[in-house]
Structure 1
Amino acid sequence: MARIQTQQAVAGFVASDPQLSYTEKGDARLYFKLGIEHYRREDDQTFTKLETTFHDLVAFKATAEQGHDRLAKGDSIIANGRVRDYSYERDGQRFAGEEFVATRIGHDMARTRYEVDRTPRQNTVAQQGVARDAPSQRAEHPSPAIGL
């Protein structure tokens, strides 16, 4: 039996305006601050809100371009990918940190209302008539899809 491959995931909100730039190789790079709210469950089953933490999130290539087009400050998101440590030197001083490198980003369905556009994208298998995309087989009220 094949093993389920997993990645790290984070849930939070876009805490800064998403910024699109390009690497030296010409690949799109998306950057924004990710806010993560933290809570503690109390003995009486209530929750106490703790301090929100803020983290760097980056994405590259198509994920970066789609994220820049579709995400805005304040959006609730879920992203999967990995944590990467980095360091750099500026003015003779060494800086270090960590960032979340997202391979997929989508709106958090539990906190976001939206409609799904299921029209086939250009140059996709769906354009070639995949049966699951046929209107007769779609649910009357389709469930939202996550990811970009």
Structure 2
Amino acid sequence: MAIQTQQSISGFIATQPQLTVSEHGISRFHARIGIEHSRQEPDGSFTQLEPTFHGLAIFRKTAEEAAARFRKGDRFVASGRVHEYNYDKDGETVAAEEFIASRIGHDLARTRYEVDRSPRREAIAHEHDALGDSAVASATSPQPKVASRASL
């Protein structure tokens, strides 16, 4: 079986993210993002080029989680797909694109953080229904926080 892949990007959050909810109750996270570029020179050195800016959208539960965790300036890695669309501006049709992320996280190489491995409330409720009280009690016992290598 072939490995299924998605497109991925890394960059920084360039504007304060916005969380909105559609009339159908679907959460949407949106922010402008910057992607840094560089060029390798003949001597092997790299020249930093101007970043490019794009739209980033995330939907549903992932959007809500991203809105709680990401701020302007944060570095991230995301996987998903590019969405191309058209819109009208001053009577002209303009082609545009945005990155629709299905997964997003802070960039390990540029972010210090701690990992909380305790189960989320939804996971606890699901385990309770599937396994019963004794299994859930052991699964919900306090877990130590683990610092990433970047914070050491």
The normalised TM-score by structure 1 is 0.82
| 1:99 counterpart residue number | 98
| 1:23 counterpart residue number | 22
State the identity as a percent.
Answer: 50
* Alignment deviations for residues 99-147 of structure 1 (CA, whole Å, 9 cap, x no partner): 00000110000110100011110121697459xx798xx9995658xxx
* Alignment deviations for residues 13-65 of structure 1 (CA, whole Å, 9 cap, x no partner): 00000011112311000110110010111222211001110001101001110
* Structure 1: gaps of 5 or more residues: none
Q: Tell me, what secondary structure is at the counterpart of 2:54?
A: strand
* Alignment deviations for residues 77-120 of structure 1 (CA, whole Å, 9 cap, x no partner): 00100001011235543232000000011000011010001111
Compared with structure 1, are the counterparts of its residues 39 and 104 closer, same or farther at alpha carbon in structure 2 (3 Å cutoff)? same
| 1:7 counterpart residue number | 6
Compared with structure 1, are the counterparts of its residues 112 and 28 closer, same or farther at alpha carbon in structure 2 (3 Å cutoff)? same
Higher strand share: 2
Matched pairs, number: 139
Compared with structure 1, are the counterparts of its residues 39 and 70 closer, same or farther at alpha carbon in structure 2 (3 Å cutoff)? same
| 2:31 counterpart residue number | 32
Residue pairs, 1:48-59, within 5 angstroms: 48-59=47-58
Give 1 or 2 for the bigger CA radius of gyration. Answer: 2
Asked if the contact 2:87–2:96 (Cα under 8 Å) also holds between the matched residues in 1, the reply is no
Compared with structure 1, are the counterparts of its residues 141 and 25 closer, same or farther at alpha carbon in structure 2 (3 Å cutoff)? closer
* Structure 2: gaps of 5 or more residues: 128-134
Compared with structure 1, are the counterparts of its residues 120 and 127 closer, same or farther at alpha carbon in structure 2 (3 Å cutoff)? farther
| 1:83 counterpart residue number | 82
The normalised TM-score by structure 2 is 0.80
Q: Tell me, what secondary structure is at the counterpart of 1:72?
A: coil
After TM superposition, the runs of 4+ consecutive aligned structure 1 residues lying more than 6 A away are none
Asked if the contact 2:112–2:148 (Cα under 8 Å) also holds between the matched residues in 1, the reply is no
Over the residues paired in the alignment, what is the CA RMSD in angstroms? 2.6
Higher helix share: 2
| 1:65 counterpart residue number | 64
